[in-house]
Chain A
Amino acid sequence: MSDFIDAFRTAIGLIVTLNPDLVEILVLSIKVSLTAVAVASILGFGIGGALAVYRFPGRGVLAAILSALMGLPPVVAGLVIYLLLSNVGPLGVLQLLYTPTAMIIAQVLLVTPIIGALTRQACQDLLEEYDEQLRSLGASPSAIVVTLLWDGRYRLITAVLAGFGRAIAEVGAVMIVGGNIDHVTRTMTTAIALETSKGNIALALALGIVLLTIAFAVNTALIWVQRLANRLAYA
């Protein structure tokens, strides 16, 4: 027990003194996940909005696949991207494996279905209400997509936050395609896994506390956005 308390004390020390190793890992993690979420948002908004508005054969199947992919296990996403980027893979020439870019790509694959499916649902709910009015106003399908995305903005923000929460906390995908290389591709989650197995509980714990704080902040933001939306009668 006293070992644990010691580790905890060291962990707090690492955070308070902004230990350079810890900060480096933290910054890389946030950079990778933010970039991935930004890309996934653009893709997800487009895919989700289009699936809600355009009618074409296979639309239902696509929507179902998108929803199912929300539960894609991170290790599987990592494996798929690994196969694509490995030297014998179709994108091997790009030499991206074990770089932050590879981690971003894997997280995009992981997060796009989440943002896409939530966007589609938000747009579909709005469209039920708006459809006749928008057609009466002579809106083209693409104008309808833009209208729905803007009117669903609060729900899209929660979708993005949910995607970020998923990206920052996952370990499987970044571990496989990043390789957990010190100073290059070491993120909070991969570092926790490594340091724990090495018995370096203090650093693992410090990173755990930071990660927990981020998760807590994201959830607080989610609740806050929903409350704001309700207050403005926008929800």
Chain B
Amino acid sequence: MLDPVSKLQGIGDRFAGLPLPIQLEGLTYERGGKRVIDGIDLVIDSRLVTVIMGPNGAGKSVLLRLLHGLIAPTAGKIMWAGRPLDRLLARRQAMVFQRPVLLRRSAAANVSHALSLRGIKRRERTMRVAEALRLAGLKEHAATPARVLSGGEQQRLCLARALSLEPDVLFLDEPTSSLDPASALVIERLLLDAQRRGIKVILVTHDVGQARRLAEDVVFLNHGRAIEHQDSESFFANPHSESARAFLRGGLVL
């Protein structure tokens, strides 16, 4: 059988080597007797930005953590190109959290710390730190203690740290929810950049504008179920479900 990936194989190792498709089979996660994720079956094979949307409490953040392997499912499984998530695959993932988590060190030391955890030697580290900070527009803040940076700068630093690891898959959990529009746009530009470099981006957001600007495909969650999954254009033009329509209207989602 022909490998469906083969026509992309000239583009670069990373692009050809993306662990796609991501297959979720009966994925379930219970917490305190409540089904936060309730039997999700889903196949994500787009190489571009996948956006996960849904009202508060729909299970978006939990789904992201399950995908990243930070928590283990109660039932069901996730397969990456037919393999379960192992250490090797996990090392090729990175995540940016809703609230920036930064060490009590300089901006540069934060990136360097992440790289050293991946076993990257000091010499290469210095180069990659400089490059990551430059891309994120934080070059002049290299020596600044990370926690005195502004909110927007902190989140950019988190993204720079994640990107410096050169992941195959990048998860983001509402990275711009507490940022002003200008800072949010900088993050979006960096994400499009990452996508161009062949990084698979999976983004949780409830900013409809942001989803429209970035998404190739949209997964709509409600009550722990994947209500819809379609390409972005048709999702925004013609959502199938009543809850998605209500969500997009900005109305109350039941």
Contacts and interface: CB of A to CB of B under 8 A. Distances in A.
B103 A147 contact: yes
Contact of B70 (A130, A132, A147): A132
A62 to B, nearest CB: 27
Contacts of B101: 129-130, 132-133
B148 A136 contact: no
Nearest to A129: B101
Contacts of A151: 103-105
Interface in B101-117: 101, 103-105, 113-114, 117
A133 B101 CA distance: 7
Interface in A142-188: 143, 147, 150-151
A20 interface: no
A47 B38 CA distance: 42
B104 A143 contact: no
A232 interface: yes
A157 to B, nearest CB: 13
B147 A143 contact: no
A137 interface: yes
B68 interface: yes
B117 A233 contact: no
A136 B70 contact: yes
Given A147-B113, A232-B148, A138 B118 contact: yes
Contacts of B94: 136-137
B103 A136 contact: no
A135 interface: yes
Contacts of B97: 132-133, 136
B24 interface: no
B147 A135 contact: no
Contact of B104 (A133, A136, A234): A234
A138 B145 contact: no
A139 B101 CA distance: 15
Contact of B117 (A130, A132, A139, A150): A139
Interface string B25-67: 0000000000000000000000000000000000000000100
A64 to B, nearest CB: 27
Contact of A137 (B65, B114, B145): B114
A233 B68 CA distance: 30
B7 to A, nearest CB: 32
Nearest to A139: B117
A65 B38 CA distance: 43
Nearest to B94: A136
B160 to A, nearest CB: 13
A234 B117 contact: no
Interface in A91-150: 129-130, 132-133, 135-139, 143, 147, 150
Nearest to A140: B117
Given A132-B70, A232-B148, A233-B148, A138 B103 contact: no
Nearest to B71: A132
A232 B104 CA distance: 9
Contacts of B68: 136
Contacts of A137: 94, 114, 117-118, 165
Enumerate the 8 nearest inter-chain pairs by beta-carbon distance, A residue then B residue, closest first. Answer: A133-B101, A233-B147, A234-B104, A136-B95, A151-B104, A233-B148, A137-B117, A139-B117
Interface of A: 129-130, 132-133, 135-139, 143, 147, 150-151, 232-234
11 contacts: A129-B101, A130-B101, A136-B94, A136-B97, A137-B94, A137-B117, A137-B118, A143-B117, A147-B103, A233-B148, A234-B145
